[in-house]
């Protein structure tokens, strides 16, 4: 144990030292490193997928749920998509050094802000090995060193990815030590990192509720957390029903194991009679279990071949991560807004409506990271939003909210250019 | 005790409830409230200054230091300046609702960010009663409710100010409960507030190092802290010596009791022989005690009527808050940068130079909230930077850095406008 604790300290401190050089590295060098990482991940596909198969087999043997196994799985296509996300990040503007809000004061002082890296980012994550790549490249591009600590389910995959990333990065001129990977998955090591306030500037926990609250409670440095997505789609009285079917279906079915998938479908009573059978037929074909409130059940029960259940109180506000949807009929947009305020996790919420006032009101009043009018909540994603990739999705209001890309990994300093001004 | 704890809970929860209405309040109503507060503070000058005299007399009797007494003091002029700062805030654009970074994605989705209030801000502060007004109006304008807890030195002043602010605000349409003032200065109550994670969205401690570290260690919600200013001015070899005299003199003497005042003067050896006697003469006339390193002492000792002392190791990195300056001769800009990195508190740092490369290098390499070329560090202030006023000066990198005005009291949500888009 003792030697592991020391190993963590050594790695985190090395990251801190590397971060000082990394902060001034030219955009060219950083981009070259990203292109090289993207190439090398493809070049090393065989080794990476082999390592992933070890994790997957172990997960299957341990009786891991289907959703967890899906999150764990790497395929040639997924690796290709990780690699192209890295290239997207390389093509984005470098946030570091950007000067903004610059103005000239009446006394001639030029005052503005200049974007700087945060320093050392520590990511503590579970399951999805693509996080190893996404977070590494976003940190490097934004001039931050990174300490990676993945979950034990994905040890082999993460290690294989991290090795490729480190080698490609250092060979391209990134300072040695800028990418640290903690191999041991001993929980005590996380506690150790969370006490290193001087060396770690931000911690990003990505994973289940338990991990997130452990990190929030024990970290001595700033934490950006999120990821728990209890997402609602509200079909308004004035919805275009075809759009409403497409959007709700996509939100639930396209990838049910992730945080931005639909959990609860809220339907205005006035259109429930026509809309609910339409969407239920589609969800039924996709084998979605529908947990209905009384009124929804009354409409759907007569219909054939649907997987129906009565909703329980604890299904509201639940993140299913599976082909399950809770369904509730509401009498007004007010009732929908109240339900979302009460049960939502502040992640992604959508309204489907052709009514201008309803749409604007939903946008204004829903207190969530991402609020949608007439689109699927599945778009909540750094890549989809044009950030190239994401280090996570923040459901907090402090520092950064929603998908976090390059800019969210930076701070700024005020710069003041004078020619001798003094304060009167 | 028990009743006070309950009182705090009641007040904080009332602020939370008010914050929900405040979040959507129109700019007109908020501005009207600010103008009314500005007027009423002047209209109630007599009562406010009378209350302040009670605190001042108590402070004098208790042997409070001159710098503390100066921070505590309200005068007709200072009240006037508080009032005009409030009017400046009223004239600033409302940050809430601002939509930014909006773009249309290839699939036609419009994605952007909309600025929203944080919710409830709690300010825990010492001495300076103007903080009561500054923080209240910045919070109200940015749509946040505020919980104020001032220091015991200023109880009477703060209460008098808070009462005027509350009355003027509520009469102008601000929801009742949006401005809460905790009268008791029992430290246990602060602990109580710091545990109310669900109700308080951000805590701002303003005061001495002890207060700040108590809050940082005990808060369960985000904290923005700062205020400790160990500020250096470095006079480069290529400085314009007249500017260098004016800037260093202003930084030290104009108001020595505040955080952005000069603490240590660093002087390049090549110009020390000519510059040091010039600045020392000025500082001497202002009765500044100069704590010199060996080389500076050698230059200044022969000169008449200066208050000289040998610098001690613990004077480097010390915030004097008084007419004292540490003076060090350095052999290069590198040595100056190293000294600042080692002893600075990340607040405000300045270089005086006519050399382009030296100026640019200082801007890039100094890791502080505010970095100056050829101007006095005394400008680090929300009002001076055009923010109208400030809730504090953050020396952290997370969320906000440097003077914090309206924007720094907000978060954002992503808004996504579609016409039926689903994720492929």
Q: What pLDDT, on the 0 to 100 scale, is given for residue B4?
A: 62
CA B374 to chain A, closest CA, distance in angstroms equals 5
What CATH number labels A231-379? 3.40.309.10
More confident residue, A71 or A375: A375
B chain contacts of residue A421, beta-carbon cutoff 8 Å: 247, 374-376, 379
* pLDDT higher than 90, residue B1: no
Measure CB to CB from residue A375 to each of B103, B109, B384 and give the nearest one. Answer: B109
Distance CA A105, CA A101 (A): 12
Q: Give which of B261, B338, B293, B297 is closest to B70, Cα–Cα.
A: B261
Shortest CA gap A412–chain B (Å): 7
Overall average pLDDT of the A94-107 stretch: 96
Q: Do domains B2-225 and B231-379 have the same CATH topology?
A: no
Whether residue B242 and residue A420 make contact (CB cut-off 8 A), yes or no, is yes
Q: Which CATH architecture has domain B2-225?
A: 3-Layer(aba) Sandwich (3.40)
Residue B420 and residue A375: Cβ atoms within 8 Å?
yes
pLDDT of residue A133: 95
pLDDT tens profile B70-122: 889 999 999 999 999 899 999 999 999 999 999 999 999 999 999 999 999 99
* Domain residue spans of chain B: 2-225, 231-379
- CA–CA gap between residue B128 and residue B114 (Å, rounded): 34
Residue B265: CB atoms within 10 A of its CB come to: 26
Q: pLDDT > 90: what percent of chain A?
A: 86
A277 confidence band (pLDDT: 50, 70, 90):
very high
**What pLDDT, on a 0 to 100 scale, did the predictor assign at position A357?**
98
Choose the closest CB to B414 out of A242, A369, A376: A369
Inter-chain contact A417–B373, Cβ cutoff 8 Å? yes
- Kindly report which listed range (A120-134, A141-155, A321-335) carries the lowest average pLDDT score: A120-134
Question: A12 pLDDT exceeds 90?
Answer: yes
Q: Are strands A410-421 and A231-235 parallel, antiparallel or unpaired?
A: unpaired
Closest listed residue to residue A81, CA positions, set A130, A129, A33, A123:
A130
pTM for this structure? 0.91
For A373, the closest of B380, B399, B417 (CB atoms) is B417
- pLDDT above 90: percentage of residues in chain B: 86
H or E stretch covering A416: strand A410-421
**Predicted confidence (pLDDT) at residue A370 exceeds the cutoff of 50:** yes
CA distance A100 to A412: 9
DSSP codes joined into one string, B248-272: HHHHHHS-TTSTTSEEEEEEEHHHH
Give the pLDDT mean for B319-335.
97
Taking an 8 Å cut-off on Cβ atoms, the answer to whether A386 and B222 are in contact is: no
Q: Please state the rounded mean pLDDT for residues B17-36.
A: 96
Res B346 pLDDT > 70: yes
Residue B120 in contact with residue B145, Cβ under 8 Å? yes
pLDDT tens digits, one per residue of A314-342: 999 999 999 999 999 999 999 999 999 99
| CA separation, residue A279 to residues A160, A258, A306, B394 (Å) | 43, 21, 11, 51
Count the Cβ atoms, other than its own, within 10 Å of residue A230. 24
Burial of B266 (0-12, 13-18, 19+ CB in 10 A): buried
Q: What is the pLDDT of residue B67?
A: 78
The interface pTM score, or ipTM, of the predicted complex is: 0.92
For A307-311, B112-116, B223-227, which range has the lowest pLDDT when averaged over its residues? B223-227
Residues 6+ apart with CB under 8 A from B8: B182, B189, B192, B193
Which of A226, A233, A375 would you mutate first to test chain B, the one with the most B CBs within 10 A? A375
User: E strands of B118-209, at which residues?
Assistant: 120-125, 145-149, 179-181, 202-206
Cα A322–Cα A328–Cα A334 angle in degrees, nearest 5: 125
B389 falls in which pLDDT band (50, 70, 90)?
confident
**Residue B189 tokens, joined:** 């109550």
pLDDT at position A2 is 45
List, for residues A259-275, the tens digit of each pLDDT value: 999 999 999 999 999 99
Q: How far is B351 from chain A (nearest CA, A)?
A: 10
> Across chain B, what does the average pLDDT equal?
94
Across the interface, whether the CB atoms of B401 and A413 are under 8 A apart is answered yes
User: Which residue from A94, A423, A411, A408 is spatially nearest to B369, judged by alpha carbons?
Assistant: A411
pLDDT per position as a tens digit, B115-173: 999 999 999 998 789 999 999 999 999 999 999 999 999 999 999 999 999 999 999 99
- pLDDT above 50 for B257: yes
The residue in chain B having the minimum alpha-carbon distance to the alpha carbon of residue A253 is: B423
State CA A44 to chain mean position distance. 26
**What is the pLDDT at residue A5?**
64
């Amino acid at each position: 144990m003792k030697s592991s604790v020391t190993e963590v300290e050594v790695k985190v401190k090395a990251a801190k030292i590397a971060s000082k050089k990394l902060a001034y590295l030219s955009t060219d060098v950083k981009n070259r490193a990203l292109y090289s990482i993207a190439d090398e991940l493809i070049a090393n596909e065989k080794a990476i997928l082999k390592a992933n198969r070890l994790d997957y087999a172990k997960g299957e043997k341990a009786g891991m749920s289907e959703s967890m196994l899906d999150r764990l799985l790497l395929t040639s296509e997924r690796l290709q998509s990780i690699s192209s996300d890295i290239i997207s990040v390389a093509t984005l503007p470098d946030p570091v050094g950007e000067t903004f809000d610059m103005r000239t004061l009446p006394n001639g002082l030029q005052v503005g802000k200049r974007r700087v890296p945060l320093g050392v980012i520590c990511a503590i994550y579970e399951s999805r090995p693509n996080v190893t790549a996404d977070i590494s490249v976003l940190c490097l591009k934004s001039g931050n060193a990174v300490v990676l600590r993945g979950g034990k389910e994905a040890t082999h995959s993460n290690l294989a990815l991290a090795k490729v990333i480190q080698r490609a990065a250092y060979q391209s001129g990134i300072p040695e030590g800028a990418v640290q990977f903690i191999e041991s998955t001993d929980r005590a090591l996380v506690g150790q990192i969370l006490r290193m306030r001087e060396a770690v500037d931000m911690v990003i926990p990505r994973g289940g509720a338990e991990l997130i609250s452990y990190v929030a409670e024990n970290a001595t440095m700033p934490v950006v957390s999120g990821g728990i997505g209890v997402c609602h789609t509200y079909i308004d009285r004035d919805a275009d029903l075809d759009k409403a079917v497409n959007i709700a279906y996509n939100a639930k079915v396209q990838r049910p194991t992730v945080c931005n998938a639909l959990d609860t479908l809220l339907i205005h009573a006035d259109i429930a009679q026509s809309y609910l059978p339409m969407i239920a037929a589609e969800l039924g074909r996709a084998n979605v279990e529908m947990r209905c409130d009384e009124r929804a059940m009354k409409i759907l029960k007569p219909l054939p071949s649907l997987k129906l259940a009565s909703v329980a109180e604890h299904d509201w506000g639940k993140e299913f991560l599976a082909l399950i949807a809770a369904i509730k009929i509401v009498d007004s947009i007010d009732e929908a807004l109240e339900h979302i305020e009460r049960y939502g996790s502040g992640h992604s919420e959508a309204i489907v409506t052709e009514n201008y006032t309803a749409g604007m009101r939903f946008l204004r009043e829903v207190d969530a990271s991402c609020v949608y009018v007439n689109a699927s909540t599945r778009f909540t994603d750094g890549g989809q939003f044009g950030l190239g990739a994401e280090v996570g999705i923040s459901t907090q209001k402090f520092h950064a909210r929603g998908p976090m890309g390059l800019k969210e990994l930076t701070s700024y300093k005020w710069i003041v250019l004078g020619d001798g001004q003094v304060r009167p």
